[in-house]
Chains A and B, each alone.
Chain A
Amino acid sequence: MKHTTIFSKMKFKPNPRSLLIALTIALLLLPFITDALLGRGWVRIVDFAMLYIMLALGLNIVVGYAGLLDLGYIAFFAVGAYCYALTGSPHLALAFPVAFPDGVHLSFWIVLPLAALLAGGFGVLLGAPTLRLRGDYLAIVTLGFGEIIRIFLNNLNAPINLTNGPQGISRIDAVNVAGAPLSATQNILGISFPSVHLYYYLFLAFTALVIFVSQRLEKSRIGRAWMAIREDEIAASAMGINTRDLKLLAFAMGAMFGGASGALFAGFQGFVSPESFSLMESIMVLCMVVLGGMGNIAGVILGGILLAVLPEVLRHSVVPMQQALFGKIIVDPESLRMLLFGGALIVMMLYRPAGLLPSRVRRRELGSDEVAEKA
């Protein structure tokens, strides 16, 4: 009766109410505490960490739930970001001076669902022909797709200047909430909220939404079907699951999350360029999912926080440390960071393949019960 125990453990146990309230208050106060202790730059880093968490949760649907390795995930993020960059900035005035003399300035809230849908559409376009292939082919094709998108973004500045090439698109409109732009300091109830704080709350709300949707998906019929496919595709299809459609759905759903985060990113930064959407970013998001624990929401969040904050800590510690020890900079923090990532990926797969906080199902499936018990 091992199964009953496993599944009874999986049941959603609501946190004690007091804990939840404490967590909410802590999260609401976080930007002010960070600002006071570490400075405003770190609030910005926290904002980026939230964006990464959203991305990682989106990728978690594809990699963690459905078991499809997507190495070009950042391309969907790029699609979302450019979607808002084009429809929320003066840029299109360059390409179509007659039709749009001031560029296009749609509201962020109209573009957001469109960006998600467009990215989802790209996901279907890419997934439809490739999802019947074996997993490692999918990995390569998605990797290639990510590169294609980047090459197009880099080169679509001539003859019609759509993307402005490597320079990217700037002066993107800020996100408006209730008519107030989040790019300026706002006074609410006598407290002044700087821009980074306001975006923090926006991202917090979206992250909460993404977590909620992920959690509901995981426990739904669809989520269980995804996990069945991940574990044994043939058995799953023998059970009457339409594996092709469901894999496509996972792909599209992950892409939609990516697209929505992309639009948020463009609004927050006010600037996008192809540089932000390199393969390394895809790998970074994948690292978050893998290190944290594929298929486990808490694990993915942990992975996202670790990998988004760690580089900044390294940046602030490695350079002064080397200066003190050797009197010069021997290893630049960027390559040290990547070196650590690469090493971490290898070590994790060898010794803890299910991640730091593995999901229970995944742990069993990867046959690392002994590892889990030892830990």
Chain B
Amino acid sequence: MEIFLQQIINGLVQGSVYALVALGYTMVYGILGLINFAHGEVVMIGAMLALSALTSLLGMGAPPALALLLSIGLAMLGCMVLGYSIERIAYRPLRHAPRLAPLITAIGVSIVLQNLAMMIWGREYHSFPQMIANHSHTFGGAIINDIQIIVFVLALAIMAGLMVVVHRTRLGRAMRAVAENQHAAQLMGVDINRVISITFMLGSALAAVAGMMISASYGLAHYYMGFLLGLKAFTAAVLGGIGNLRGAMLGGLLLGLIESLGAGYIGDFTGGFFGSNYQDVFAFFVLIIVLVFRPSGLLGERLAERA
């Protein structure tokens, strides 16, 4: 039972990070109908930027809390610029091109980002500086530490904030209008290009936070971390129903749970034939199963099946 509870906690924390990244995919998809393949790399760049800023600020003797805030802010800013440029360079000129074209430029962008990161930060793992004493709490036999609590609470708070932005503000209304019907929105006086740019920037800012969280909870950052994370977050978005914000959050949390419970119990179920080293396979199986049986996702209203 303790193991079960432990896996639930780990799954929820991991899932909340997936959810943040999945939101970036789903917002862009909702508005442009495009899978922003490079989003995982934006997460990676965010993590790397935050980490570099943090280590150099701490090295200069800045108080930890201030350093943390500044470095998150810097990473978010950097990623927003990055997200904006990606959209301008790689997606906007191809908005009316066949579907294959933006997908291929997206792959190109992620290769470029990955290798740039490798040139700047090298191939090695960067460790996250230990700033606060990371207390562990026992909770019904399971262990949860401070960083996990902070990650989970912060992720929920950000998601709540995003929901407010999308459903209660002028900008949010414009975003929903563009998602509904670009031409009609344009006729109503919405500056589509501006809305699309802002969407990309919002998604990238979330990605920066997610990158920071994941490197804090694992204690590591690496130039290759974005690929798998991006893929899983995309799975989460599809699971919840791509284009649907609540779906992305639900999908992220669910995927985190599926993964950690799956990895925890696969050994018992298969008599030790498969072990927890197959953890990364679950996301893909979930993706294939969802696409086969419910392509519109759990909460998706849009029909994903279109020629």
* Chain A interface (Cβ < 8 Å from any Cβ of B): 63, 67, 69, 71, 129-130, 132-137, 139-141, 143-145, 147-148, 151-152, 155, 158-159, 233-234, 279, 283, 286, 290, 331, 335-336, 338-339, 341-346, 349-350, 353, 365-366
Cβ-based interface call for B114 (8 A) = yes
A346 and B109 contact, CB distance less than 8 A: yes
A209–B233 alpha-carbon span in the complex (Å): 42
A344–B116 alpha-carbon span in the complex (Å): 15
Complex partner residue of A140 from B35, B110, B295, CB under 8 angstroms: B35
Complex partner residue of A141 from B108, B281, B288, CB under 8 angstroms: B288
A232, closest chain B residue (CB): B307
- Given A136-B99, A353-B97: A130 in contact with B112 (beta carbons within 8 A): no
Chain B 114-131, CB-CB to A under 8 Å as 1, else 0, gives 111011000000000000
B288 and A134 contact, CB distance less than 8 A: no
B304 and A134 contact, CB distance less than 8 A: yes
Cβ-based interface call for B234 (8 A) = yes
Residues of A within 8 A of B288 (CB): 129-130, 141, 144-145
B105 and A133 contact, CB distance less than 8 A: no
A366 and B119 contact, CB distance less than 8 A: no
**Smallest CB separation, A347 vs chain B (Å):** 8
Complex partner residue of B112 from A148, A159, A346, CB under 8 angstroms: A346
A145–B305 alpha-carbon span in the complex (Å): 20
A345–B306 alpha-carbon span in the complex (Å): 26
Given A140-B287, A147-B280, A148-B284, 9 more pairs with CB closer than 8 A: A67-B100, A133-B305, A144-B287, A283-B107, A283-B111, A346-B89, A346-B108, A349-B102, A350-B105
Among B133-141, B161-169, B176-184, B271-279, the one that faces the other chain is B271-279
Residues of A within 8 A of B99 (CB): 134-136
Complex partner residue of B108 from A133, A143, A158, A345, CB under 8 angstroms: A345
Residues of A within 8 A of B200 (CB): none
- Given A67-B100, A135-B100: A144 in contact with B284 (beta carbons within 8 A): yes
| Number of residues of chain B lying within 8 A (CB) of chain A | 51
- Given A141-B291, A147-B231, A147-B280: A349 in contact with B304 (beta carbons within 8 A): no
B90 and A366 contact, CB distance less than 8 A: no
- Given A67-B100, A140-B234, A349-B94: A339 in contact with B116 (beta carbons within 8 A): yes
Cβ-based interface call for B227 (8 A) = yes
A344 and B115 contact, CB distance less than 8 A: no
B112 and A133 contact, CB distance less than 8 A: no
Cβ-based interface call for B104 (8 A) = yes
A338–B234 alpha-carbon span in the complex (Å): 24
A343 and B231 contact, CB distance less than 8 A: no
A130 and B292 contact, CB distance less than 8 A: yes
A279–B226 alpha-carbon span in the complex (Å): 14
- Given A137-B291, A151-B281: A346 in contact with B90 (beta carbons within 8 A): yes
Complex partner residue of A129 from B273, B277, B292, CB under 8 angstroms: B292
Ranked 9 nearest A-B pairs via Cβ:
A345-B108, A342-B111, A144-B284, A342-B112, A346-B108, A233-B307, A129-B292, A335-B115, A339-B115
